[in-house]
A and B are shown apart, each in its own frame.
Chain A
Amino acid sequence: MTDGPLIVQSDKTLLLEVDHARARDCRRVIAAFAELERSPEHVHTYRLTPLGLWNARAAGHDAEQVIDALLTFSRYPVPHSLLVDLADTMGRYGRLRLAQHPTHGLVLVSTDRAVFEEVLRAKRIAPLLGARIDDDSVVVHTSERGNLKQALLKLGWPVEDLAGYVDGEAHPIALAENGWHLRDYQRQAVDSVWAGGSGVVVLPCGAGKTLVGVATMARVQATTLVLVTNTVSARQWKEELLRRTTLTADEIGEYSGATKEIRPVTIATYQVMTTRRKGVYSHLELFEARDWGLVIYDEVHLLPAPIFRMTADLQARRRIGLTATLIREDGREGDVFSLIGPKRFDAPWKDIEAQGYIAPAECTEVRVSLTDSERFAYGTAEPEDRYRLAADCDSKARVVEQLVRLNAAEPTLVIGQYIDQLDDLAEQLNAPLIKGETPVKERERLFAAFRTGEISLLVVSKVANFSVDLPEASVAIQVSGTFGSRQEEAQRLGRLLRPKADQRTARFYSVVARDTVDADFAQHRQRFLAEQGYSYSIVDADSLTC
């Protein structure tokens, strides 16, 4: 037994005691191959996953280093089976490689003939391959590079893509660092992506992911396609590019429902890219419209399935994915790994917070007791209707009003899922409402007014979950959510995390109906926040005082 800070569990979780003298060293080493799952106050939990281990292999770490790290820092003996499993998993990466052959073009090469034969015989792989060159290599149809990577990952043999990237059409882009500078972690993130060619950067909301994308563009110096979640976000990207780079407005195009501009830097929304007319994706030609040197995927955890398919054809282009969380509610983390690239950079929220780049936050669950009539309605409702009944009950409205009064001096967002509920709340609170049908211009006007302090209370639907920059928002009141979605909770909290001018702590309230499924889902979501290390408390609505 040693006095290490790490306890390795047989279920492949790693428990790191944060107050231990060697915790910092240990964290630096294990972060390369283990996914941080929870970071509450005393013991942080990391998990060893195949994707995490393959990410480590992609970054140049081998199984021996990983095992050595575990044995060095582990307080107790590490189970042999775990080490064997770990070495086996890591050994799977890189036995197959995609490379450029001088005469045959794109080829799949193997260092393990048995594995090679196994994958060649797989039904899903065979159609993607061309003629066999020799015992260890086979031609790959260029158009199937992405599909092959996806299929091989599903077979458990992730391929190392060494086939390189096309440079794309050169276009000068430089950072205009007038009065600001890239933060160290942002520079490290850019370096990691550049070294790896493509991959994903994970940074908390408010930590400046957009700037990482912008700096990557300046490094690549080529025409760039930026894919974002919605039009408001597209406009914010454009503003950011104009402010932070030497690009002019003429060089930046918007490709959305309203405008279809194709410029050296084009910002398109997922929505327009996935629009189908007569069963056909009518805007696919955008990917071929220019010889793009870089494709940026903002909020990569939300990437819709059709974009994945389109991305499969873009494997020769440099790609960077930006996100605050790699958790995908649809479980397609593997597709992100194989099609966008491995995770190249990750920084825990609390680390960035400790550096003062994002605001600290307090999370409070406010429990509301239903009235007798609401209780009766809830109890007699069909199971599928119960969440809706509990989530938008009238009792919540009174509590929201109380919370708004309690934080009257703070810029406050009221966030919800159900439009009827938000309509009522907006009316009751006499506050403007932004929802899906609000025109983009009107949204921009309201957001701008909120930023300037002209409006201090805004009711928003889930359209404001992502990519909306509201740096001054310091209180968020969540009245209903998408069931137990953890990434939604993280994104909503993310709206508050921009550092405040006066360094004040942000407050995130979640109003839930006691003894209902709403409380169960809320517990699931709140647990996620507590696991990230945010202080978290539960109070009764009755105990709130103005």
Chain B
Amino acid sequence: MAPHADTPRTLTQMLRDWDDKALARLLMSRPDLAVPAPTDYSQIASRSTTRHSVSQSLDLLTAFELWVAQRACALGRPFEQSDSGVFDADSFAEAIAANPGRSDTGRVPNPPDPPDIVNALDRLLGLGLLWGDASSLRPVRAMASSLTTADPETIPDPHAPRFDDAPHQPGDLVDKVAAGSAFELVRRIDVLVEHCDHQPATLVKSGELASRETRTFGALLDLPAPVAGVHLKIARAAGLLGAMPGSDLKLIPTRGFDEWQSLTLAAQWQLLAAAWLDQHERPASAWLKRLTLQGIASIGDFVVLTPEQLHTWVSWQRPRRVPATARLTASILDQAAWVGVTGLGALASFGAALVAATSEITAVSPSASEPSCLAGLLPPRVDHVLVQADLTAIAPGPLDGEAARDLGSLADVESRGGATVYRFSAASLQRAYRLGWRVPDIVSTLERRSRTPLPQPLLYLVHDLKRLPSPNEAFRADQSVSAGHFVHSGPLRAPHSEPEPSMPAEITFAAAQRLVQAIRHTEADAPEESSARPQTSNRIDSPLDTLREAVETGEVVWFGYVDTRGASGERLVLAKSVGEGRLQARDSRTDEALTVPLRRITSAHIIRRTT
């Protein structure tokens, strides 16, 4: 089970001995060890044993792994380690398997298989929560204090919950329904960002959207205000909205929005859905969204799980982090439905592809990664409308950019969806006229765009514009330029903004591998450590790293300090913990308990045991 053959004497040594893959996997799982980039193994080891980092790592454990971790720290019966905390993996697994305690349901369960326990230990080792090798494992010290012993008598299932009787939905139907929602999301974001072009969204000083604005967007999108607020956050996260130059509290479209508009509908959706998935929005954080969707995917294709079932699954996967109730899971499922990742409660095939590929998505990625099955389900763009006698024009699909601008100038949008219904009125035509459209331009544009003959009342209203006073001369300056083009040229745009990072330090496997290579390179350049170790370490580490190593190894450490009167002194101690700005230790000779502020410690050396 251990990644190397020789028993490592320190955590640092164990990391040094690991192969690249294991090390890269550790950095991926615990991104806090990789940011900022460590320069050597001791830095990684030092970071990995802090209480905060250990606590974060424990959050990644499943219910069963957590239970094994508790036993490994001797927090529960029946297994008791040696005084030094060192134990043998196989003996540990057999002891636990022989006396597992009670199950969640209160009954004596089937004892967990020793291999399951060994697997759990392997995972703890891989996360750096245990160190050593199979015959002499020991938990990092901060683990015991980060764990709780809520009910040591219960034992979770070693395997994730299964829902064999969960209903299935027909795959094509799921995709079809999800595609409908996906199209709606794209349309609504388009409307929202276009709205911000005319009327920038105003933020309050905290950076949140003002509640009045949220209500405005709710009315605009015909959605409850909080849902409209999430739409705006998605648009921001996708880099479609950015701060207006000169005013951080006003949001306007970015140049990225113009690029986004030129993408296919499927690519537009993919960017938005990825932004939603990676968006860290309280309380639905990115990891929980992804885990929830992975939960649906892991049960089977097009399976529908209830929020309660999913909550059970997620709770088993991350018992320390998941909220107590299924409310949040239900909220994530609700969002996933309107985002178009799921349909009829099941994960759509393009939703599953997105969840699988999401860690690779970092910026706008047009057609290359566009889910082809989604593209086939979405309406194609059209360049024409059907003008009717009741003065409406129906675009039987999403209009291409130029046609949409023409129609948007001449008529008001009455209904949106797969089709767009425009309504002409005297007021809408007069507005276009005042903006520089001329009667012949309007007629020729309408004739070009309409597949049906123009009705007499519409032509009457257009020709009736001639009775109005001529519009501003400025608009007539350049007759060669299409009026619509004139009106739409050069809108104010926010600078191109990268999609907002949601998880502050998410490390891809490739990045982790690069880091490992860099550390290996640095270590190779450093003078080689003598194989015959001196009695005291002659490496110049920071006192903090040295003290942490001493905590891990349980070796005696010498440290120098300056007391409150400015006098320097030195002590030989057994370090117990380093954290919250203090070293807690026992004097190696008197066994007196000490607490020393780290800021007073000037140097530290481990007194190595001689073999």
Which A residues lie at the B interface, using CB under 8 A? 1, 7-11, 13, 15, 17, 38, 40-43, 45, 71, 74-84, 365, 523, 527, 530-531, 535-539
- 24 pairs, CB–CB < 8 Å, chain A vs chain B: A1-B380, A8-B180, A11-B222, A13-B417, A15-B421, A43-B388, A71-B176, A76-B397, A76-B418, A77-B180, A77-B181, A80-B177, A80-B180, A80-B337, A81-B184, A82-B180, A83-B177, A523-B425, A523-B426, A527-B390, A530-B388, A530-B391, A531-B390, A537-B456
B181 near A1 (CB under 8 angstroms)?
no
Most B CB contacts (10 A, CB to CB) among A41, A80, A537 go to A80
Contact B181 A81, beta carbon cutoff 8 Å? yes
Any chain A CB within 8 A of the CB of B377? yes
Pairwise interchain contact B391-A527, C-beta atoms closer than 8 A: yes
Report B148-179 CB contacts with A as 1/0, cut-off 8 Å.
00000000000000000000000001001111
Q: Are A42 and B377 interface neighbours, CB within 8 A?
A: no
**Nearest-neighbor residue (CB-CB) of B456 within chain A:** A537
A420 to B103: give the CA distance in the assembly, Å: 92
Q: Which of B437-478 contact A (CB under 8 A)?
A: 452, 455-457, 460-461
Contacting pair A10 B417 (CB below 8 A): yes
Enumerate chain B residues within 8 angstroms of A7, measured Cβ to Cβ: 396, 417-419
Asked if B376 is at the interface of the complex by the 8 Å CB criterion, the answer is yes
Partner of A77, one of B337, B377, B388: B377
What is the distance, in angstroms, from B236's C-beta to the closest C-beta of chain A? 22
Q: Is the CB of B176 within 8 A of A77?
A: yes
State whether A78 touches B180 (Cβ < 8 A): yes
B173 near A71 with CB under 8 A, answer yes
Given A8-B418, A9-B416, A530-B391; A17-B177 close (CB under 8 Å):
no
Q: Please tell me if B572 contacts chain A, counting CB pairs below 8 Å.
A: no
Closest beta carbon of chain B to A528's beta carbon, Å: 9
With contact pairs A76-B183, A78-B177 given, residues A537 and B457 touching in the complex (Cβ less than 8 Å): yes
- Could you tell me the distance in whole angstroms from the C-beta of A533 to the nearest C-beta in chain B? 8
| CB of B343 within 8 Å of the partner chain | yes
Mask of B179-205 contacts with A, CB within 8 angstroms, 1/0 = 111111001000000000000000000
Chain B residues lying within 8 Å of A84, measured Cβ to Cβ, are 337
CB proximity of A377 to chain B, nearest CB, Å:
21
Residues on B with beta carbons closer than 8 Å to the beta carbon of A1: 376-380
Give residues 303-351 of B contacting A (CB, 8 Å): 337-338, 340, 342-344
Residues of chain A within 8 A of B220, CB atoms compared: none
**Is B389 in contact with chain A by the CB < 8 A criterion?**
yes
Q: Is there a chain A Cβ closer than 8 Å to B392's Cβ?
A: yes
Closest partner residue, chain B, to A84 (CB atom): B337
* List of B residues within 8 angstroms of A75 by Cβ: 379, 396, 418
Decide if B415 is an interface residue (CB 8 Å cutoff): yes
| C-alpha spacing A81/B378, complex, angstroms | 17
Separation in Å of the A394 CB from the closest CB of chain B?
A: 22
Whole-angstrom distance between the alpha carbons of A11 and B419 in the complex?
A: 11
The CA-CA distance from A76 to B419 in the complex, in Å, is 9
Cβ–Cβ contact B457 & A9, under 8 A: no
A to B contact number (C-beta, < 8 Å): 130
Contact A42 B388, beta carbon cutoff 8 Å: yes
Among all A-B residue pairs, the 7 with the closest Cβ atoms: A9-B417, A77-B180, A76-B418, A530-B390, A77-B179, A40-B388, A538-B460
Could you say which residues of chain B place their CB within 8 Å of the CB of A79? 180-181, 183-184, 417
Given contacts A43-B386, A81-B337, A531-B390, contact A13 B415 (CB under 8 A): yes
Q: Which of A77, A537, A538, A539 contacts B183 (CB 8 A)?
A: A77
Bits for B269-292, please: 1 = Cβ < 8 Å to A, else 0. 000000000000000000000000
Which residues from B are CB-within-8-Å of A77?
176-183, 377-378, 418
Residue of A11, A42, A365, A530 touching B394 (CB-CB under 8 A) = A42
B interface residues (Cβ-Cβ under 8 A, vs A): 173, 176-184, 187, 222, 337-338, 340, 342-344, 376-380, 386, 388-392, 394, 396-397, 415-419, 421, 425-426, 452, 455-457, 460-461
User: Which chain A residue shows the least CB distance to B453?
Assistant: A41
Residue of B nearest to A515 (CB): B467
Known contacts: A7-B396, A77-B377, A538-B461. The answer to whether A42 contacts B452 by CB under 8 A is: yes
Shortest B315–chain A CB gap in Å is: 26
List, in ascending order, chain B residues with CB within 8 A of A535's CB: 389
Q: Which of A1, A77, A539 is most buried by chain B, counting CB atoms within 10 A of its CB?
A: A77
Q: CB < 8 Å: which of A76, A531, A537 contacts B180?
A: A76
Which residues in B have their C-beta under 8 angstroms from that of A527? 390-391
Closest CB-CB distance, A504 to chain B, in whole Å? Answer: 21
Alpha-carbon separation in the docked complex, A186 to B183 (Å): 43
Inside 8 A of B456's CB, which chain A residues have their CB?
Answer: 537-538
Chain B residues near A539 (CB, 8 Å)? 460
Cα A83 to Cα B342 in complex, Å, equals 13
Q: A74-B418, A75-B379, A77-B179 are in contact. List 17 more A-B contacts (CB 8 A).
A: A1-B376, A1-B379, A7-B419, A10-B184, A13-B415, A17-B396, A40-B389, A45-B421, A75-B418, A77-B176, A77-B180, A77-B377, A79-B181, A530-B389, A530-B457, A538-B461, A539-B460
Q: Distance in Å from the Cβ of A326 to the closest Cβ of chain B?
A: 19
Q: Determine the distance from Cα of A76 to Cα of B337 in the docked complex, in whole angstroms.
A: 17
Q: Which residue of B lies closest to A77 (CB)?
A: B180
Instruction: List chain A residues, Cβ under 8 A from B388.
Output: 40-43, 530
A449 vs chain B, min Cβ distance (A): 36
Measured CA separation A365–B460 after assembly (Å): 11
Contact between B176 and A10 (Cβ–Cβ < 8 Å)?
A: no
CB distance from A525 to the nearest CB of B (A): 12
A76-B378, A80-B180, A536-B457 known; A42+B386 contact, CB < 8 A: yes
Given contacts A80-B177, A80-B180, A523-B426, contact A9 B390 (CB under 8 A): no
CB distance from A110 to the nearest CB of B (A): 24
Report chain B residues within 8 Å CB of A537: 456-457, 460
Q: Max chain A CB contacts within 10 Å: which of B179, B183, B340, B415?
A: B415
Contacts of A523 in B (CB 8 A): 425-426
Cβ–Cβ < 8 Å partners of A38 in chain B = 390, 392
Contact of B415 among A11, A78, A82 (CB under 8 A): A11
The answer to whether B377 touches A8 (Cβ under 8 A) is no
- Given known A9-B417, A15-B394, contact A80–B379 (CB-CB < 8 A): no
**Complex formed: what's the CA distance from A179 to B397 in Å?**
52
- When the two chains form their complex, are residues A43 and B183 in contact, meaning their CB atoms are under 8 A apart? no
CA distance A416 to B5 in the complex (A): 103
- With A42-B394, A43-B388, A530-B389 as given contacts, are A80 and B344 in contact (CB-CB < 8 Å)? yes
A78–B389 touching, CB < 8 Å:
no
Contact A80 B378, CB 8 Å, known A11-B415, A535-B389: no
Query: Closest B-chain residue to A534, C-beta based?
Result: B389
